[in-house]
Structure 1
Amino acid sequence: MNLPPFLLRNIRPSIPRFLPKQLRTMVKPAARVATQAKDVWSIVNEAAAAATASGNTVINLGQGFFGYNPPQFVLNAAKEALNRVDCNQYSPTQGRLRLRQALSDAYSPFFGRKLDPTTEIVITTGANEGMLSAFMGFVEEGDEVIVMEPFFDQYISNVQMAGGKVVYVPLHPPPKGDTEVSSSDDWTLDLAEFERAITEKTRMVVSLFSPRHNPIGKVFSREELMGIGELCVKHNILILSDEVYDRLYYAPFTRAATLSPEIRDLTITAGSAGKNFYCTGWRVGWLIGRPELIKYAGAAHTRICYSSVSPLQEAVAIGLEQAEKEGFWESSRREMKGKMDRFNEVWNELGLPFTDPEGGYFVLVNMSKVKMPEGYEFPSHVSSRPRDFQLSWFLIKEIGVAAIPPTEFYTEANEKEAENYLRFAVCKDDDVLEAAKEKLRKLKDYI
């Protein structure tokens, strides 16, 4: 079938299913998105939604979004900001000065020096866009970026979109993790293995220095951080320190940029208002670092999205200004730790070992004792994945609780280490967690 040129020019690419076969082959996606399998968030959330639509009640403890609103003083600030003309227009690409000043006031005591709000802080559309900006600002085609495994899945695509190559260094699980409750601190990094991963092409290290290695909840010790940092100084490698859960820690926590002046000068710290104030949908994040680092990450941010949501920036600024007076940081940490401890009681009842986190709101549970019925049917996009995907599907359909399979955070070579685990998020109302515990007790029939 031959079509005239004028018709070819006016065929909309959004409807390729109606095109003749020879034209469909012309619609070629970029390699960075063409080969991606269906992501874990879609699989779990769609399965939970389908089960709910069919009449089952499913409690979603999968994706880490909060089941409750931000504190009232932050909500009030957002509502008031919407009534202001300047808060409904573009903010400066670097972010509203009030927010940058509030971040300087809030974080300077932790960093041990006065942060310059005009040169050392840039506001981003969530921490994820901030990290993409850091990659775009410093990583070029062929550069290598070291990522610790298990990893937050967004790191991988962000590095690759910048043209970089991901080099993986594993955290090793506790030897008795399948039989005993362990601390997240028992997941260990082999520093010699880390150094062997460094080459002349290594440009950056993505470090979950925050109190919540996703999905483990590990808080790296000062000694571990210093070992990584000193290697980065030795080889002149930039550090992207993901500290989005820097207010939710239950063990001593050291910020990467405070380890030494030399490490500080190589470190870009990423933060998140969404995690701090229970508002993941607001998409307000930031990068903190020396002016020569923020300058180029900020330049990339300008080209990615120009500026971030103005009224919510204003609300976050007010939230940071008032949080200490409201006693919010301490109450937030205390309440989340209480949720974690109460929820984990069900695993002790069931005799299922778990990793007790030192920060954040995720818990990894080892399900190797759970025996799914012989011949249980899974859809092809689940049956072709590791056992934890099948466990996740089984829990949604038969138990009524959704959890995330953590092999999504591993390379294929190492996914065996996680195939018996599931990740649960406890950032939900207490009654929801209690209802989930009651459902999970049905696992006794399969142990």
Structure 2
Amino acid sequence: MVTADRLNSVQEYYFSKKLREVRGLIDQGKPIINMGIGSPDLAPSPQVLETLRDSIIEAGAHQYQSYQGLPQLREAIADFYQQMFGVSVDPSTEILPLMGSKEGIMHISMAFLNEGDEVLLPNPGYPTYASVTNLVGGKAVNYDLKAENGWFPDLEELSKKDLSKVKLMWISYPHMPTGAAATIEQLEALVNFAKANGILLVNDNPYSFVLSRNPTSILSIAGAKDCTLELNSLSKTFNMAGWRVGMVLGSSEHINAVLKVKSNMDSGMFYGIQKGAIAALQSGPEWFEALDKVYTKRRELMFQLVEKLGCTYDKNAVGMFVWCKLPNGALPSEEFIDKVLYDKDIFIAPGTIFGSNGEGYIRFSLCVKEEKIKEAIERF
């Protein structure tokens, strides 16, 4: 059986392939320390786990659920956005829970892109933006992000290009993989750029509550709902990556378009997971303080490892990664991480998996226990 032509436009996800190689080394008895992927190793709060446990015996817990999620979940999301971001959203019409924000990338693309429509993608940026664009028949158009510009697009230069076919623009602030944060003025500039060019702007925002002093939503910008959607997730903030709980927020018109796709793709999120998500969203400030305390200690140790490798980094970056520039004269990123993998049994992500502007960079995940980071330092 011949596969669909669309598969010719994408490759297997880098981490899917590379982690298979890493597992092979582990099977050979190699003491691999995995610093490559941002999968939280910490547990959700006891309240979240208790809520999940108690919910599974409730009446109707194992039936199909609403395509729009429990009303209480949408209300909890709305309350969270109001409290943490100062953003008001209507839980009935402007919020759609997702089975992880990654599926939202596909749903949004299917809802708004026709074949041949162009999509502005950050370079470096999350690889799934490009993969999904290609799968739905869109045309990926990269825009440069560079350290000298604070990993923010040159909107003046971008405005000089022919944008007549551009339908979507993906951004991610705080930025993945670099950890760069955008100011309110920069977010305003992005919204104005999108409005001026008739582009739907989508901000992917799962890292606002990890080592971030000023959590920000692009929906806090006046008039942003007219041209903007925001994706968010419980994966990083509440250590619930495997639960697959995300959300998309925006105008009722945009949310309804995404719902048309989503309602044909699944039959609702499991009741217990939704109840656990509500408990997570109602966490108090002590949860965020404890989370940052853990990641701060890990990051300080990771900085020591990075310095041993002769790399440079931004101490003010946010999120659960450390993005590092390789020293002058170093091997290319992928060769460098392979040498470390096979010489020191440590897996690091190469910057190139996030785009050509990631060459010369590597990325460390903070989802590694302190003792393992100390062990990695000793190996050098």
The alignment's TM-score, normalised by the length of structure 1, stands at 0.80
User: Which residue, out of 206, 219, 229, partners 1:268?
Assistant: 229
CA shift for structure 1 position 264: 2.5
- The 1:434/1:198 distance shift into structure 2, 3 A limit, reads farther
1:131 and 2:105 aligned: yes
Report the equivalent of 1:59: 33
Q: What letter corresponds to residue 244 of structure 2 in structure 1?
A: R
**Deviation string, structure 1 residues 397-417 (Cα, Å, up to 9, x no partner):** 11111111121111xxxx2x4
| 1:351-380 residue CA offsets vs partner (Å, 9 max, x unmatched) | 3223435211111223345867xxxxxxxx
| Cα separation, 1, equivalents of 2:143 and 2:33 | 34
User: Per the alignment, do residues 250 and 235 of structure 1 end up closer, same or farther by CA in structure 2, a change over 3 Å counting?
Assistant: same
Q: Which of 49, 70, 78 is equivalent to 1:75?
A: 49
Contact 2:166/2:199 (<8 A) preserved: yes
Find the counterpart in structure 2 of residue 396 from structure 1.
Answer: 341
CA distance in 2, matches of 1:62, 1:200: 38
- The one-letter code of the counterpart of 1:338 is K
Deviation (angstroms), 1:249: 4.3
User: 1:347 — aligned with what?
Assistant: 306
SS of alignment partner, residue 264 of structure 1 = helix
* Partner of residue 303, structure 1: 264
Matched, 1:320 2:281: yes
In 1, distance between residues paired with 2:201 and 2:143? 15
Q: Report the counterpart of residue 177 of structure 1 in structure 2.
A: none
Name 1:423's counterpart in structure 2.
363
Higher-Rg member (1/2): 1
Inter-partner Cα distance in structure 1 for 2:162 and 2:125: 18
- SS in structure 2 of the partner of residue 123 of structure 1: strand
Q: CA deviation at 1:41?
A: 0.6
Counterparts of 1:35-434 in structure 2 under 5 Å? 35-110=9-84, 112=86, 114-174=88-148, 186-197=150-161, 199-209=163-173, 211=174, 213-261=175-223, 263-321=224-282, 323-324=283-284, 327-356=286-315, 358-368=317-327, 387-410=332-355, 415=356, 417-434=357-374
In 2, Cα distance between the equivalents of 1:282 and 1:421? 31
With normalisation by structure 2, the TM-score equals: 0.93
Check 1:54–1:81 CA distance in 2 against 1; reply closer, same or farther (3 A cut). same
Instruction: Tell me by how many angstroms 1:196 deviates.
Output: 3.0
1:334 Cα deviation after fit: 3.6
**Displacement of 1:420:** 2.7
Is the 1:250–1:337 Cα contact (8 Å) retained in structure 2?
A: no
Report the equivalent of 1:378: none
Show CA shifts across 1:52-87 (max 9, x none): 122210011111101222222212222222232422
Query: In 1, Cα distance between the equivalents of 2:86 and 2:103?
Result: 27
Matched residues in 2 for 1:313 and 1:292: separation? 24
- In the alignment, is the contact (CA less than 8 A) between 2:191 and 2:228 conserved in 1? no
Provide, for residues 150-206 of structure 1, a one-character-per-residue CA deviation record: whole Å limited to 9, x for no partner: 0101111222233321111010134xxxxxxxxxx7334222222234511111111
Instruction: Supply the AA of the counterpart residue of 2:367.
Output: C
Question: What amino acid sits opposite 1:345 in the alignment?
Answer: Q
Residue in 2 that maps onto 1:438: 378
Q: Which amino acid aligns with 2:349?
A: I
User: Closer, same or farther in 2 for the Cα pair 1:88/1:434, shift >3 Å?
Assistant: farther
SS in 1 for 2:93: coil
1:50 deviation in Å?
Answer: 1.7
For residues 123-154 of structure 1, what are the alpha-carbon distances to aligned partners after superposition, in whole Å with 9 as ceiling and x for unaligned?
11100112221111111122111111101011
Contact 2:320/2:365, CA 8 A, preserved across alignment = yes
Q: 1:91 to 1:110 in 2, by over 3 A?
A: same
Give the structure 2 partner of residue 20 of structure 1. Answer: none
Identity %: 24
The one-letter amino acid paired with 1:255 is S
Aligned residue number for residue 7 of structure 2: 33
Determine helix, strand or coil for the equivalent of 1:427: coil
Cα 1:87–1:436 change in 2 (3 A) is farther
Rounded to whole Å, the distance in 2 between the matches of 1:170 and 1:201 is 19
- CA RMSD between the two structures: 2.1
Distance 1:41 1:400 in 2: 17
- Paired residue secondary structure (2:263): helix
Q: CA deviation at 1:242?
A: 0.5
- What is residue 11 of structure 1 aligned with on the other side? none
The change in CA–CA distance for 1:238 and 1:198 in structure 2 (over 3 A counts) is farther
Q: Deviations over 1:408-447 (max 9, x none)?
A: 111xxxx2x43332211012222222222222x2xxxxxx
The 3-state SS of whatever aligns with 1:317 is: helix
Cα–Cα, structure 1 residues 436 and 251, in superposed 2: closer, same or farther, change >3 Å?
same
Structure 2: runs of 5 or more not aligned: none
Does the Cα contact within 8 Å between 2:73 and 2:275 map onto a contact in 1?
A: yes
